[in-house]
Chain A
Amino acid sequence: MPHEIDVVAKICAHHNHDPAALLEILHDTQEEFGCVSDDAARTIAERLNISRADIHGVRSFYGDFSRQADKPKLKLCRAEACQAVGSEELARRLSDKGIASETIYCLGNCALGPAAMIGERLIGRASVELLEAELADD
Chain B
Amino acid sequence: MTDTPRLYLSRDAAALSVGADAVAAALPRDQLVRTGSRGMLWLEPLLEVETAQGRIGFGPLSVMDAKRLADAGFPEDDATCLGKVEDLPWMKVQRRVIFERCGLIDPLDLDAFEASGGLDGLWSALGKTPSDIVETVTRSGLRGRGGAGFPAGIKWKTASEAVADQKYICCNADEGDSGTFADRMLMEGDPGQLIAGMIIAGLAVGATKGFIYCRSEYPHAIATLKAAISAWEARGWLGSDILGSGKAFELQLRRGAGSYVCGEESAMLESLEGKRGQVRVKPPIPAISGLFGKPTIVNNVLTLASVPWILAHGGEAYAEIGHERSRGTQAYQLAGNIRRGGMLEADFGISLRDLIEDFGGGTLSGRPLKAVQVGGPLGAYIPADDLDLPMDYEAFAAAGAMLGHGGIVAFDNTVDMAKQAEFAMEFCAEESCGKCTPCRIGSIRGAETISKIREGENVEANLELVEELCTVMTDGSLCAMGGLTPMPVMSALRHFREDFISSDPKLEDMVD
Contact = CB atoms under 8 A, between A and B. Distances in A.
Partners in one complex: yes
Interface of A: 18-24, 26-27, 54, 57-58, 61-65, 79-85, 104-113, 115, 117, 120-125
Contact of A111 (B177, B257, B341, B420): B341
B194 to A, nearest CB: 15
B292 to A, nearest CB: 8
B216 interface: yes
B410 interface: yes
Contacts of B57: none
A110 B257 contact: no
Contact of A108 (B217, B272, B423): B217
Given A64-B258, A83-B336, 9 more contacts: A22-B275, A23-B256, A58-B275, A79-B377, A80-B377, A84-B415, A105-B427, A108-B14, A108-B181
B18 A112 contact: yes
Contacts of A124: 14, 17-18
Given A64-B257, A80-B373, A122-B13, A113 B18 contact: no
B296 interface: no
Dominant secondary structure at the B interface: mixed
Contacts, number: 151
Contact of A122 (B220, B254, B407): B220
Nearest to B176: A106
B337 A84 contact: yes
Contact of A105 (B176, B218, B256, B337): B176
Nearest to A25: B274
B276 A108 contact: no
B17 A62 contact: no
B257 A27 contact: yes
Contacts of A107: 217
B260 A105 contact: yes
Nearest to A19: B274
Contacts of B221: 108
A111 B14 contact: yes
B310 interface: no
B409 interface: yes
Interface string B179-219: 11100100000000000000000000000000000001111
Nearest to A122: B17
Interface residues of B, number: 60
Contact of A112 (B184, B216, B218, B341): B341
Would you list the 9 A-B pairs with minimal beta carbon distance, nearest first? A111-B341, A22-B274, A63-B258, A124-B17, A84-B336, A62-B257, A79-B178, A110-B335, A64-B257
Contact of B254 (A23, A63, A83, A111): A23
B258 A110 contact: no
Contacts of A122: 13-14, 16-17, 220
Given A84-B337, A111-B334, A104 B217 contact: yes
Nearest to A80: B178
A98 to B, nearest CB: 25
Contacts of B13: 108-109, 122
A109 to B, nearest CB: 5
13 contacts: A19-B273, A19-B274, A24-B254, A57-B276, A62-B259, A65-B257, A105-B427, A106-B176, A108-B221, A110-B336, A111-B181, A112-B42, A125-B17
A107 B257 CA distance: 13
B214 to A, nearest CB: 11
Contacts of B338: 111
B257 A26 contact: yes
Contacts of B247: none
Nearest to A22: B274
B178 A105 contact: yes
B41 interface: yes
B300 interface: no
A120 B220 contact: yes
